[in-house]
Chain A
Amino acid sequence: MTIEISTPLTEEKVKELKAGDKVLLSGVLYTSRDAAHKRMVGELNKGGKLPFDVENNVIYYVGPAPAKEGEVIGSAGPTTSYRMDPYAPYLLDKGLKGMIGKGDRSREVIESMIKNKAVYFAAVGGAAALLADKIKKVDIIAYDDLGTEAVRKMEVEKLPLVVVIDCKGNNLYETEKNRYKKI
């Protein structure tokens, strides 16, 4: 079954999403990956402000390719999420409700997701031209010097995702692998 949802992601919306659900996500989300996460959490530790309010928002782990003239953005598929694991619990504690990436998450992140009622979506790794097609507007809002790793505000329309870890900690990476394992 495919569920259409839009941001901001309230706790009520998050609670309805179950591991295995196919989702088409629309609305505003923010991009951040390795270097931007390091900087954002550095800011929090200093008592500073984040470049955007993470509360009820979604972060897409992506470092897009440059846009050609006339295009909104270049190819923009998910990057591997585990590299953001050391930082994610800080942002979840600040109210972050959704993360988009690929690959499994650490025990600490999953526990923080359960505590803070958040959801983790996977986009198809490598399907970067297809995903770019669903991105309608992009603005760099912070850390311009980081190039592809700068924080971007993005408007998406029907971004195809799968709920892989829900707010109860159900993890598709474990359950589905076990279902098909024959060795």
Chain B
Amino acid sequence: MREISADIIAKTIKEMCIEANCYVSKDILDMIGKYKEKEESPIGKGILEQIQQNAEIAKNKMMPMCQDTGMAVVFCEIGQEVHITDMSLTDAINQGVREGYKDGYLRKSVVKDPFHRENTKDNTPAIIHYDIVPGNDIKITVAPKGFGSENMSKIAMLKPADGIEGAKKAILEIVEQAGGNACPPMIIGVGIGGTFEKAAYLAKKALLRPVGNNSAIDYIKEMENELLDNINKLGIGPGGLGGRTTALAVNIETYPTHIAGLPVAVNISCHATRHSTRVI
């Protein structure tokens, strides 16, 4: 049994909240550069250029790339040989979020109650997903999620008869409806299978995969490429102002499901698809 102090976890979470918000990841920046070369719309090209300049300013000034620094989504893989001391793990994560959002001058966007809407003023609570795995490490991913794009996400509970074609059609429709509201160029996270909530969880997790890295399953890889191609023919373009660059990637994760169902969840994200991972 390995003992890990909750204080270390809180400190790590704090640092990751700040890093994730101020640095656009290299895979995304590289992909924006590639698409900028190919972009046919002059307005669209200009927008991609502003996104590149913005990433540079954010990095140099340690300022968040987007003012919507999101709700902190935390994925925790906890080795079953680990014993956490000094504080509950959930409290430690929330303490890290609290300190990160304060010290990093990040926007506090969380309200206590969905109807009464009083701001918690420290961006807690985080959304935490725990997974118990073999081993004696803790792997933590902090993925702050903004709601411009989150609001455009959807789930479709399809019939088994709808099949691959039905899933592709549903995904394309959801992306088209998101249009310019979701700050294109988008990254499209898709979760297929499982149950209602499992599909949504997979769609969120799919956003963590670097852009340009396709699924290891051949037919899913094909589906990702075909969807990306078709999404980029919708004409939505950067900022929704027309062009070829509507999405940088379609990442699909799948899971076994029930004989009667075919859940397809689409979690839309913008170029600020932030994620920082560390192993303690």
Q: Known contacts A126-B272, A148-B109; is A103 also within 8 Å of B240 by CB?
A: yes
Query: Which of B67, B181, B230 is the one whose CB lies under 8 Å from A104?
Result: B181
The distance from the CB of A170 to the nearest CB of chain B, in whole angstroms, is 13
The distance from the CB of B120 to the nearest CB of chain A, in whole angstroms, is 10
Contact of A75 with B65 in the complex, beta carbons under 8 Å: yes
Contact of A182 with B235 in the complex, beta carbons under 8 Å: yes
Q: Chain B residues near A147: list those with CB within 8 A.
A: 108, 119, 121
Bound-state Cα–Cα, A104 to B63, Å: 28
Q: Chain A residues near B64: list those with CB within 8 A.
A: 65, 74-75, 128-129
Bound-state Cα–Cα, A133 to B230, Å: 36
Interface positions of A (Cβ within 8 A of B): 20, 22, 35, 62-68, 74-77, 79-80, 82, 102-104, 122, 124-130, 132-133, 146-148, 160, 162, 164, 172-173, 175-183
Q: Which 6 A-B pairs have the closest CB atoms?
A: A176-B242, A181-B235, A125-B183, A180-B235, A103-B181, A183-B233
Contact of A162 with B66 in the complex, beta carbons under 8 Å: no
The distance from the CB of A123 to the nearest CB of chain B, in whole angstroms, is 9
Count of chain B residues with a beta carbon within 8 Å of a chain A beta carbon: 48
- Tell yes or no: B205 within 8 A of A by CB: no
Chain B residue at minimal CB-CB distance from A81:
B181
Bound-state Cα–Cα, A126 to B54, Å: 8
The distance from the CB of B179 to the nearest CB of chain A, in whole angstroms, is 7
Stretch at the interface among B39-47, B90-98, B206-214, B216-224: B39-47
Contact of A130 with B57 in the complex, beta carbons under 8 Å: yes
Contact of A122 with B58 in the complex, beta carbons under 8 Å: no
A65-B64, A80-B151 are known; give 18 further A-B pairs, CB within 8 A.
Answer: A22-B43, A63-B67, A63-B68, A63-B109, A67-B105, A74-B63, A75-B64, A79-B148, A80-B148, A124-B51, A124-B239, A127-B51, A129-B58, A148-B109, A176-B43, A177-B242, A178-B235, A182-B235
For window 200-251 of chain B, which residues contact chain A by CB distance below 8 Å? 230, 233-237, 239-244
Chain B residue at minimal CB-CB distance from A38:
B117
- Tell yes or no: B154 within 8 A of A by CB: no
Contact of A126 with B233 in the complex, beta carbons under 8 Å: no
The distance from the CB of B229 to the nearest CB of chain A, in whole angstroms, is 9
Query: Which of A64, A75, A103 is the one whose CB lies under 8 Å from B180?
Result: A103
Contact of B105 with A173 in the complex, beta carbons under 8 Å: no
Contact of A65 with B57 in the complex, beta carbons under 8 Å: no
Contact of B105 with A130 in the complex, beta carbons under 8 Å: no
The distance from the CB of B274 to the nearest CB of chain A, in whole angstroms, is 11
For window 173-199 of chain B, which residues contact chain A by CB distance below 8 Å? 179-181, 183
Bound-state Cα–Cα, A162 to B238, Å: 13
Chain A residue at minimal CB-CB distance from B178:
A103
- Tell yes or no: B252 within 8 A of A by CB: no
Against A, the Cβ 8 Å flags (1 = close, 0 = not) of B86-125 are 0000000000000000000111110000000101010000
Bound-state Cα–Cα, A67 to B243, Å: 34
- Tell yes or no: B36 within 8 A of A by CB: no
Contact of B244 with A180 in the complex, beta carbons under 8 Å: yes
Contact of A148 with B148 in the complex, beta carbons under 8 Å: no
- Tell yes or no: B61 within 8 A of A by CB: yes
22 A-B pairs, CB-CB below 8 angstroms? A20-B43, A64-B67, A65-B105, A75-B107, A77-B67, A77-B68, A82-B181, A104-B240, A122-B180, A124-B50, A126-B66, A126-B271, A126-B272, A128-B64, A129-B54, A147-B121, A172-B43, A172-B241, A176-B235, A176-B241, A179-B235, A182-B233
